[in-house]
């Protein structure tokens, strides 16, 4: 499958092309993510501070993704950012096509620029779509695998419901959806304070504010994947104490996190029996088959 073939997977007359990036007609010209991308393209998507950290944090995730891929698959990266997954996946795994969707045109430009300069990535044809995650300009049953990496958690839950309806629509029967670091657990101290903060935003008339983490219960995630035949929720991480206190001034927050929360959580993780660790998981990753 070549790049022109990938374009046939898009809905007709739903996009306009700008320098090789297809922009959905519904999307705004600029988003908050464009500003973040201009300031620091890496920090806007992943907390790694340098190339070594980015590679280390991506290694386990890329290894897991490969388990669900076959040569010739078309992969949709929902909220692709600057193409972090493609950067580490494509040089050693050729696919039928890679579709990167992001609401930030600036992010996609960074992705496309790197892709065009990296021969190892170009063995897989790529399609760059500037679109919102909940209004995908793709045809029904058009992709084999969908990955979502640390994207859902910063969006209002109503947006995620719409995004999952789109995911369900565009994935092929038998296709796989992989969601990483996107469903923080509500049943944690961090989750409790996060839900209180969301309640405050609701009272202030700002429920859709971009950025605050949204926390999920197990049943909420099950409902989002109700139309999938197989759904596995994987508890990930460990946190007895919240990693941060919402509203704490930055200097005090660093003291709390680095001098108190992190070392205590590290100690407790060592002594907590394996059978109990899932109850202290930070978030759920999801593997779902259509």
Segment 237-262, tens digit of pLDDT: 999 999 999 889 999 999 999 999 99
**pLDDT value at residue 50:** 59
**pLDDT higher than threshold 60 for residue 166:** yes
Q: For domain 3-184, give its CATH number from 3.40.50.300, 3.40.50.150, 3.40.50.2300, 3.30.310.50.
A: 3.40.50.150
Residue with tokens 């958690």: 153
Better-scored residue on pLDDT, 239 or 30: 239
CB of 55 closer than 8 Å to CB of 88: yes
**C-alpha to C-alpha distance for 74 and 172, rounded to whole angstroms:** 10
**pLDDT higher than threshold 80 for residue 133:** yes
Query: Which sequence spans correspond to the domains of the chain?
Result: 3-184
Quote the tokens at residue 130: 């500037």
- pLDDT tens-place string over residues 188-217: 999 999 999 999 999 999 988 877 899 999
Q: Rounded to the nearest 5°, which phi and psi values hold at 232?
A: -120, 125
CB under 8 Å to 186, separation ≥6 — which residues?
Answer: 192, 194, 195, 215, 216, 217, 220
**pLDDT higher than threshold 80 for residue 7:** yes
């Amino acid at each position: 499958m070549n790049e022109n073939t990938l374009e046939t997977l898009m809905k007709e007359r739903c996009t306009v092309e700008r320098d090789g990036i297809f922009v959905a007609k519904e999307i705004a010209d600029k988003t908050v993510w464009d500003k973040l991308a201009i300031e620091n393209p890496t920090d806007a998507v992943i907390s790694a501070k340098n190339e070594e950290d980015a590679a280390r944090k991506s290694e386990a995730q890329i290894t897991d993704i490969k388990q669900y891929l076959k040569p010739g698959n078309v992969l949709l990266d929902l909220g692709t950012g600057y193409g972090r997954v493609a950067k580490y996946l494509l040089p050693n795994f050729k696919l039928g096509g890679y579709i990167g969707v992001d609401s930030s045109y600036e992010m996609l430009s960074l992705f496309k620029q790197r892709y065009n300069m990296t021969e190892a990535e170009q063995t897989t044809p790529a399609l760059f779509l500037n679109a919102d995650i909940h209004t995908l300009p793709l045809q029904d049953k058009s992709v084999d695998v969908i990955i979502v990496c640390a994207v859902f958690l910063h969006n209002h839950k109503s947006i995620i419901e719409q995004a999952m309806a789109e995911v369900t629509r565009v994935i092929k029967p038998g296709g796989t959806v992989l969601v990483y670091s996107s469903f923080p657990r509500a049943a944690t101290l961090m989750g409790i304070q996060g839900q209180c903060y969301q309640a405050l935003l609701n009272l202030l008339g700002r429920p859709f504010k971009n950025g605050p983490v949204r926390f999920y219960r197990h049943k909420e995630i099950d409902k989002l994947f109700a139309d999938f035949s197989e759904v596995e929720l994987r508890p990930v991480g460990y946190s007895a104490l919240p990693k941060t206190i919402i509203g704490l001034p930055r200097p005090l927050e660093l003291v709390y996190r680095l001098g108190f929360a992190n070392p205590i959580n590290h100690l407790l993780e060592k002594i907590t029996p394996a059978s109990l660790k899932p109850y202290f998981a930070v978030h759920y990753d999801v593997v779902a088959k259509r």
